[in-house]
Amino acid sequence: SQQGEEDPQALSIQEGENATMNCSYKTSINNLQWYRQNSGRGLVHLILIRSNEREKHSGRLRVTLDTSKKSSSLLITASRAADTASYFCATAQRGGNKLTFGTGTQLKVEL
Amino acid sequence: GAGVSQSPSNKVTEKGKDVELRCDPISGHTALYWYRQSLGQGLEFLIYFQGNSAPDKSGLPSDRFSAERTGGSVSTLTIQRTQQEDSAVYLCASSLLGPGETQYFGPGTRLLVL
């Protein structure tokens, strides 16, 4: 089963609005990462947050991590049409050999 | 330098044929991963290489799937006797040292088995 579950599965907003996506996971982690995927091809790394961090920023992206609730959120501020993509969270488990990806959120930003 | 490259970009094959997919990781990256993504789904882990050895091949769905990596660089994923359910995008990624780091993905190979 998937370690990470994102919600919502799909999100449609207007350009300029903020988009928030959530990710829940099940086991202890070393870090949690967010990736973006355009048109079902290669993924692009967005941001990595370590288990001892609570919040991280990168440009218009803000990621939070709550290890007590085993959840993370990705906020994209002032969204643009070019932000339209699928967004995946991925967890690196302690002692693990891989990243485990969630099911993804499809974001559509309309003009 | 260049990013992760994969070939071919697209592959159409007939059921029962064998296919080979290739991945060229970023130069100097010791870890390499293969994933599979079916239409509209998340990524399914297949196998992880550290150097030329595969410490974790737990995700390979059947013995029709195999992978190797040579020279600590190029990797090939081979699917024997392809089935229609093998149709998916096969993604390769690499990272500098190991699994917990940022992974850099190739553009994928879209496989269609008729």
Q: Residue A3: its pLDDT value, please?
A: 55
Asked if pLDDT for residue A111 goes beyond 80, the answer is: yes
Which residue ranges make up each domain of chain A?
Answer: 5-110
B34 touches chain A (CB under 8 A): no
Q: Residue A93: its pLDDT value, please?
A: 86
Q: How many CA atoms lie within 13 A of A16 on its CB side?
A: 1
Q: Which chain A positions have a beta carbon within 8 Å of B104's beta carbon?
A: 45
Asked if pLDDT for residue A2 goes beyond 60, the answer is: no
Q: Residue A42: its pLDDT value, please?
A: 83
Query: What is the pLDDT tens value at each position of chain B, 114 positions in all?
Result: 589 999 999 999 999 999 999 999 999 999 999 999 988 778 899 999 999 999 888 899 999 999 999 998 999 999 999 999 999 999 999 999 888 889 999 999 999 999
Phi-psi region of B86 (alpha: psi -120 to 50; beta: other; left: phi over 0): alpha
Using the beta-carbon criterion (under 8 Å), do A41 and B33 form an inter-chain contact?
Answer: no
Asked if pLDDT for residue A1 goes beyond 50, the answer is: no
* Domains of chain B listed by start with CATH number: 5-102 (2.60.40.10)
Query: Which of the following CATH numbers is that of domain A5-110: 1.10.357.10, 2.60.40.10, 1.20.1250.20, 3.40.1550.10?
Result: 2.60.40.10
Q: Residue A79: its pLDDT value, please?
A: 97
Which site among B6, B39, B43, B47 would you substitute to test the A interface, given the most A Cβ atoms closer than 10 Å to its Cβ?
B43
As a whole number of angstroms, the distance between CA A101 and CA B3 comes to 21
Q: Residue B47: its pLDDT value, please?
A: 94
Tokens representing residue B63 in the block = 């013995």
Tens digits of residue pLDDT in A14-71: 999 999 999 999 989 999 999 999 976 789 999 999 999 999 999 999 999 999 999 9
Q: Residue A40: its pLDDT value, please?
A: 65
B41 to chain A, minimum CA–CA distance in Å?
Answer: 6
Closest partner CB to A97 (pick from B37, B99, B104): B99
Tens digits of residue pLDDT in A91-104: 998 877 788 898 89
Instruction: Let me know if B13 is exposed, middle or buried by CB neighbors in 10 A (0-12, 13-18, 19+).
Output: middle
As a whole number of angstroms, the distance between CA B92 and CA B90 comes to 7
Q: Residue B55: its pLDDT value, please?
A: 86
